[in-house]
């Protein structure tokens, strides 16, 4: 028997089917939402530093715009493929609807290992990509942002390329920009901090507090780092952390700030002096901890390995880390899996504040933005938790989150006369 190839788009469609059935909608609603509005595939020829030309490939998927302009990040990764980008754009539709921000869902990706490109090559690739998708984006049309292996510098190039093309300075064409170009410093911490807020709220429900609880993280990029930092500041114990090069463990718990410094300097958590032992990248998934944070990529917890997962709360900082089969299994065992569309919405919630701020010509203070994020994340968590209790906690919490999100999108489509 051959192992079936994992296709995130197939998983995303299964989740949608479940939500449509839960809400009692017919096939028509499923058909309309299962397919993205538009997917643009672009060829990206880039002049490399050695004078040769290399051709890359990229996509922008626009899933649904019933609630407003398409919104979502652009990832650079050697394994990105079209169906992954489509799935991610669908997840953005639900994430934005659930967050209560006036956006539809979009996502982009370039198949590239950015760690193998020079700074100048990355700039040329980024500009070529944005130029190639410029005709389908727009401040009220589609607003990209950072995702895996893209950052404020990438957004600065995107914004500049677009502004040159349209001969207008359109700061709000992308979010997640550097502060001096209309970004907010707190945008960098927002995804991880938001995930930490949802983990904290879930811990309060189960144990009254997050203080003293043990935490393991698989993945230590932007989202993982700031989830760890906030939880550490609230007194949780960060016992295990990993990245693509390996993982480390400490029974006493790591100082998250020191660990972030190490990671930024060395490019990996491996070798951090406080570690008691070293293990493989996926090992944090199987530790007996209170809180597990998958913060890497899709397909981390599957029906093949779900039996080995022992955590009581799982807060999904990554997009799509748990497959639908594993999700059902975990719900049966009473594990609280805070779904990605709720747990990692902090990034796009802050993106929305940045976009509003750009349109107002710069108005919002960093502290105000952070307070808004806190309020939104806790309120959204409460709303989903309440609906979860209504449908029954033997169902995955994701079903409740999807219920709220899909309903909003369908209502908007009905009002627009689309269905
Ligand atoms: N890439 C992030 C996500 O998956 C943020 C998207 C945004 O800010 O538009 O939610």
What CATH number corresponds to the domain at position 194?
A: 3.40.50.720
Q: Nearest CA to 108 among 47, 152, 57?
A: 57
Tokens 């429900």 appear where?
A: 205
What Å distances lie between residue 238 and 28, 208, 370, CA to CA?
A: 46, 19, 23
**In this structure, are 69 and 123 located in the same domain?**
yes
Question: What's the pLDDT at 5?
Answer: 81
Q: What is the dihedral of CA 204, 205, 207, 210, to 10 degrees?
A: -20
**In this structure, are 122 and 260 located in the same domain?**
no
Tell me how far apart the alpha carbons of residues 217 and 195 are, in angstroms, rounded to a whole number: 12
User: Does 147 sit in the ligand 1 pocket, CB within 6 Å?
Assistant: yes
User: Does 317 sit in the ligand 1 pocket, CB within 6 Å?
Assistant: no
Catalytic residue at 205? no
What's the average model confidence in pLDDT over 174-195?
Answer: 97
Tokens 């290399």 appear where?
A: 54
Range of the domain at 281: 189-345+394-398
For residue range 311-369, what is the model confidence (pLDDT) as tens digits? 999 999 999 999 999 999 999 999 999 999 999 999 999 999 999 999 999 989 999 99
Question: Using CA positions, which residue lies closest to atom 8 of ligand 1?
Answer: 348
142-146/246-254 β-pairing: unpaired
**In this structure, are 167 and 198 located in the same domain?**
no
Residue 311, in any domain of the structure: yes
Strand spans (E) along 158-259: 214-218, 237-243, 246-254
Question: What's the pLDDT at 4?
Answer: 59
Q: pTM for the full model?
A: 0.96
Distance 9 CA to ligand 1 centre (A): 18
Residue 363, in any domain of the structure: no
**In this structure, are 241 and 111 located in the same domain?**
no
Distance 348 CA to ligand 1 centre (A): 5
Question: What's the pLDDT at 185?
Answer: 97
Token pair, residue 229, equals 């930092």
In terms of C-beta density within 10 A (0-12 exposed, 13-18 middle, 19 or more buried), how is residue 141 classed?
middle
3-state secondary structure 32-53: HHHCCCEEEEEEEEEECCCCCE
For residue range 64-118, what is the model confidence (pLDDT) as tens digits? 999 999 999 999 999 999 999 999 999 999 999 999 999 999 999 999 999 999 9
- pLDDT over 70 for what percent of the chain? 99
Question: What's the pLDDT at 1?
Answer: 46
Tell me how far apart the alpha carbons of residues 180 and 147 are, in angstroms, rounded to a whole number: 20
Average pLDDT, the chain: 97
Please compute, for residue 344, the number of CA atoms within 13 A of its CA located in the half-sphere on the CB side.
29
Q: Choosing from 95, 107, 213, 263, which is the catalytic residue?
A: 107
Determine the residue of 146, 221, 297 to mutate for testing ligand 1's pocket, defined as the one with the most ligand atoms within 8 A of the Cβ atom.
Answer: 146
Could you say which DSSP state residue 111 is in?
E
Could you say which DSSP state residue 275 is in?
-
Q: Please give the residue that has the higher pLDDT: either 363 or 30.
A: 30
**In this structure, are 143 and 237 located in the same domain?**
no
**In this structure, are 73 and 164 located in the same domain?**
yes
CATH number at residue 162: 3.40.50.10860
How many structural domains is the chain composed of?
A: 2
- pLDDT over 90 for what percent of the chain? 98
Tell me how far apart the alpha carbons of residues 21 and 7 are, in angstroms, rounded to a whole number: 22
**In this structure, are 276 and 151 located in the same domain?**
no
**In this structure, are 197 and 341 located in the same domain?**
yes
Residue 3 confidence (pLDDT) above 70: no
Question: What's the pLDDT at 206?
Answer: 98
Quick one: how many helices (H) and strands (E) in the chain? 13, 12
Closest atom of ligand 1 relative to the 144 alpha carbon: 9
User: Does 222 sit in the ligand 1 pocket, CB within 6 Å?
Assistant: no
Tell me how far apart the alpha carbons of residues 173 and 143 are, in angstroms, rounded to a whole number: 5
Tell me how far apart the alpha carbons of residues 260 and 226 are, in angstroms, rounded to a whole number: 9
Determine the residue of 145, 188, 316 to mutate for testing ligand 1's pocket, defined as the one with the most ligand atoms within 8 A of the Cβ atom.
Answer: 145
User: Does 221 sit in the ligand 1 pocket, CB within 6 Å?
Assistant: no
Beta bridge partners of 55: 45
**In this structure, are 165 and 47 located in the same domain?**
yes
Residue 221, in any domain of the structure: yes
Residue 22, in any domain of the structure: no
Q: Nearest CA to 145 among 194, 99, 115, 105?
A: 105
Residue 366, in any domain of the structure: no
Residue 98, in any domain of the structure: yes
State the first-to-last Cα distance of the chain, in angstroms, to the nearest integer.
Answer: 42
Could you say which DSSP state residue 189 is in?
H
**In this structure, are 157 and 193 located in the same domain?**
no
**In this structure, are 241 and 308 located in the same domain?**
yes
Closest atom of ligand 1 relative to the 95 alpha carbon: 10
| Strand order through the sheet with 70-77 | 38-47, 53-64, 105-111, 70-77, 142-146
Q: What 3-state class would DSSP assign to 241?
A: strand
């Amino acid at each position: 028997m051959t192992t079936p190839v994992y296709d995130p788009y197939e998983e995303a469609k299964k989740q949608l089917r479940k939500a449509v059935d839960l809400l009692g909608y017919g096939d028509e609603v499923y058909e309309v939402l299962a397919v993205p509005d538009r997917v643009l595939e672009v060829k990206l020829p880039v002049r490399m530093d050695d004078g040769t030309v290399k051709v890359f490939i990229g996509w922008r998927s626009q899933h649904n715009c019933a609630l407003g302009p398409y919104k979502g990040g652009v990832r650079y990764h050697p394994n990105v493929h079209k169906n992954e980008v489509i799935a991610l754009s669908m997840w953005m539709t639900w994430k934005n609807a659930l967050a209560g921000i006036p956006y539809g869902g979009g996502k982009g990706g370039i198949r590239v290992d950015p760690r193998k490109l020079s700074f100048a090559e990355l700039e040329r690739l980024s500009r070529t990509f944005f130029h190639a998708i410029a005709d389908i984006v727009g401040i009220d049309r589609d607003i990209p942002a950072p995702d895996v292996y893209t950052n404020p510098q990438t957004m600065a190039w995107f914004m500049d390329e677009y502004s040159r093309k349209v001969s207008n300075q359109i700061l709000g064409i992308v979010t997640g920009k550097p502060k001096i170009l209309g970004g907010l410093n707190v945008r960098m911490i927002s995804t991880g901090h938001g995930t930490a807020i949802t983990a904290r709220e879930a811990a309060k429900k189960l144990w009254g507090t997050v203080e003293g609880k043990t935490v393991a993280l698989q993945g230590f990029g932007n989202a993982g780092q700031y989830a760890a930092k906030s939880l550490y500041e609230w007194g949780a114990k960060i016992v295990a952390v990993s990245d693509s090069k390996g993982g480390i463990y400490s029974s006493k718990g790591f100082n998250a700030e020191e660990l972030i410094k190490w990671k930024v300097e060395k490019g990996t958590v491996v070798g951090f002096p406080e570690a008691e032992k070293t293990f493989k990248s996926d090992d944090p998934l199987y530790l007996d901890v209170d809180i597990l944070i998958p913060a890497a990529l899709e397909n981390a917890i599957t029906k093949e390995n779900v039996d080995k997962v022992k955590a009581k709360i799982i807060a999904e900082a990554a997009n799509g880390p748990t497959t639908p089969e594993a999700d059902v299994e975990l719900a049966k065992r009473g594990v609280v899996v805070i779904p990605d569309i709720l747990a990692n919405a902090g990034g796009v919630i802050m993106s929305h504040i940045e976009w509003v701020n750009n349109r107002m010509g710069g108005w919002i203070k960093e502290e105000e933005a952070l307070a808004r994020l806190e309020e939104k994340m806790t309120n959204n968590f409460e709303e989903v938790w309440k609906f979860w209790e209504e449908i029954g906690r033997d169902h995955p919490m994701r079903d409740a989150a999807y219920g709220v999100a899909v309903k909003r999108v369908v209502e908007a489509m009905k009002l627009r006369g689309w269905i």
